[in-house]
Amino acid sequence: MRILKSRAARVITAAVAVGLVATGCSSERGEGGDKAGAKDTFVFAGAGDPGSLDPALASDGETFRVTRQAFEALLEHEPGGSKLVGGLAEKWSSDPAGKVWTFNLRQGVKFHDGEAFNADAVCANYNHWFNWKGTYQSSAVSYYWQTIMGGFAKNEDPEAPKANFKSCTAKDENTAVIEVNEPSANLPGGFSLQALAIHSPKALKEYEKQDATAKGDAITYPKYSQEAGTVAGTGPYKITKWNKGNKEVSLEAFDGYWGEKAKVKNLVFRTIDTEDGRRQALQAGDIDGYDLVAPADVKTLEGEGYQVPTRDVFNIFYVGMSQEVNPALKKPEVRQAITHAIDRENLVKTQLPEGGKAATQFMPDTVAGFSDKVKTYPFDTNKAKELLKAAGEEKLTVEFCYPTEVTRPYMPAPQDMFELMKADLEKAGITVKPKAMKWAPDYLDATEAGSCALHMLGWTGDFNDGFNFIGTWFAGYDKQWGFKDQKVFDAVNAASKVTDPAGRVDAYKAANDAIMAYAPGVPISSSPPAIAFGKNVNPPKVSPLTQENFAEVSFK
């Protein structure tokens, strides 16, 4: 017994000792052990891991947030705004037909691997993407190339879009000319996309050795895109390590950067996948900033002295109507009645962070082409009742789907927003059958298939062009809406083909007028997404396109 007693005692003593040492040492840490040393390291938390270190293979914000610090595109957006400005091209122009784009490139730019940036490098990139084969042609891999430039030199999938990219020519060392087959609403905005950022030609050669393969029956991303070492851009930071196990991508300031150099030497992006987790990590002092702040946390964090700037609105939240699933929605009076019945101002006031705006059309007022003359449908329950009566739909019943377990920049609290809208609709005499669904993939599948009579969704713009918003939904028949109104489709498509920028803005305004006269759904609001920073941080200019440049960050 004595032995046992002493063993038990030893075990307990050891456990207590570990506990004491742990608490002792950790309080040391809490007082600034590694925090003092962290001054040359800025840690920012996102909600998900990046998918790839080659932005050309990606279509998600978490990837672009990381790669944007290392790769630059021909065009960029002004810091903190959505206006297109020069990036790797100082100046750009197009011919009147919108088919020939000429870029005057910045000089003295070097890639992270020492290669020189010039017109040949630009063309090497565009030709690399245009000549993608096999798995790279899957839209899961090359979504943005296909959205902006259509298909490839040789389309392997008959369903792939027709190629719009024609050629890239290095006219001289500093002039690159990109030609397309047809004018497109996606240009010049598309030239600013991270997915079309310019890589070092030397790195591209390495990329080509490592095909993305369709091993088995799924897409396997090439090795270079999963490990730091090969990828090389021209940005203020270079990617040095991707520690997937620790959910951490490390970047280091690039000494040879052509512009203003990064103020903090090390930049680390870490993944903390819950909102609470990110907030608590900031409060614990483990990170210096994070994105996708829950609107409910904004006031708390501000009260505690953290900086929580909100970005300008660049998104739209709407209630979609699927006319094919509920034929009553084919009647214009019914759609108008629903539009009148929802109290948008109340939603904005109670559900959105400060700076949120009620919407009158399917694009925010920060996008060129926003119209002041659209038909509006102010909140009016009586008017809604009248319209329903006129349509013979006084006893209208609609199924209304809403997503669970999700927060989107345009839709901070889906369930609460749904409840308010449901109450509004019921006041107008509409019976609402709620249907809650898991966001991915159930809800997304259902809305895309047009199987919900009413549903709520939204969109954050990629660049400042109206087509990026209204073209997404109303350029042609889409199951989500289930209608064919040539007037609306023609107006939207006509706008996309106008090459003169001022003319295109007018055409978008006309398209917005046509859409809202038809009232296919209810544009509800635009919401300014918040981003949080520590008390000792000088934050970067926040961007409506969520394109923050972390080279601007410094510590106080």
Partner 1 sequence: MLRLVVRRLLQLIPTLLGLSVLLFLWLNRLPGGPASAILGERATEAEVARINRALGLDQPVYVQYWRFLKRIVELDLGTSTQTGQPVWDEFALRFPATVELSIAAILIAVVVGIPLGYLAAKRRGGWLDVASVSGSLLGICIPVFFLALLLKGVFAVQLQWFPSYGRLSTGLNATDVTGFAVLDGLLTGEFDASWDAIMHLILPAVALASIPLAVIVRMTRASVLEVLGEDYVRTAESKGLEKRVVRGRHVLRNAMLPVITAVGLLTGSLLSGAVLTESVFSFGGIGSFIRTSIDARDYPVLVGFILFIAMVYVLINLLVDLAYSIIDPRVRVH
**Of 102, 139, 169, 175, which one interacts with partner 1 (CB under 8 A)?**
139
- With binding defined as CB under 8 A, does residue 49 bind partner 1? yes
Number of Cα atoms under 13 Å in the Cβ half of residue 55: 26
- With binding defined as CB under 8 A, does residue 281 bind partner 1? yes
Instruction: Quote the least distance from Cβ 185 to partner 1, whole Å.
Output: 16
Of 238-257, binders to partner 1 (CB under 8 A) are 244-248, 250
- With binding defined as CB under 8 A, does residue 286 bind partner 1? yes
> ω before 327 within 30° of 0 (cis)?
no
Residue 428: C-alpha distances to residues 340, 343, 416 (Å): 9, 11, 19
CB nearer to partner 1: pick between 178 and 287: 287
**Of 23, 107, 404, 538, which one interacts with partner 1 (CB under 8 A)?**
23
Q: Residue 446 corresponds to which tokens in the numbers above?
A: 């259902």
Q: Is the Cβ–Cβ distance between 264 and 42 less than 8 Å? A: yes
**What residue type is assigned to position 120 of the chain?**
D
What Rg do the C-alpha atoms of the chain give, in angstroms?
26
- Nearest Cα neighbor of 542 from 313, 225, 335 is 313
**Of 17, 34, 208, 397, which one interacts with partner 1 (CB under 8 A)?**
34
Instruction: Quote the least distance from Cβ 142 to partner 1, whole Å.
Output: 11
- Sign of the four-CA dihedral 15, 21, 22, 23: positive
Size of the site for partner 1 (CB under 8 A): 81
- Nearest Cα neighbor of 225 from 237, 208, 250 is 208
- With binding defined as CB under 8 A, does residue 514 bind partner 1? no
Q: Is the Cβ–Cβ distance between 102 and 177 less than 8 Å? A: yes
d(CA 87, CA 321): 40
- With binding defined as CB under 8 A, does residue 162 bind partner 1? no
- With binding defined as CB under 8 A, does residue 259 bind partner 1? no
CB nearer to partner 1: pick between 7 and 373: 7
Instruction: Quote the least distance from Cβ 479 to partner 1, whole Å.
Output: 6
Of 305-364, binders to partner 1 (CB under 8 A) are none
d(CA 556, CA 535): 9
CB nearer to partner 1: pick between 124 and 281: 281
Q: Residues 199-238 vs partner 1: string with x where CB under 8 A?
A: -------------x-xxxxxxxx----x------------
Of 370-429, binders to partner 1 (CB under 8 A) are 405
- With binding defined as CB under 8 A, does residue 304 bind partner 1? no
Give one word for 526, left, alpha or beta, with left for phi > 0 and alpha for psi -120 to 50. Answer: beta
Instruction: Quote the least distance from Cβ 266 to partner 1, whole Å.
Output: 6
**Of 17, 20, 25, 296, which one interacts with partner 1 (CB under 8 A)?**
25
- With binding defined as CB under 8 A, does residue 102 bind partner 1? no
Cα separation of the two ends of the chain: 62
Which span sits near partner 1 by CB under 8 A: 201-209, 353-361, 444-452, 548-556? 444-452
Residue 93 belongs to what H/E stretch?
Answer: strand 89-94
**Of 259, 434, 441, 501, which one interacts with partner 1 (CB under 8 A)?**
441
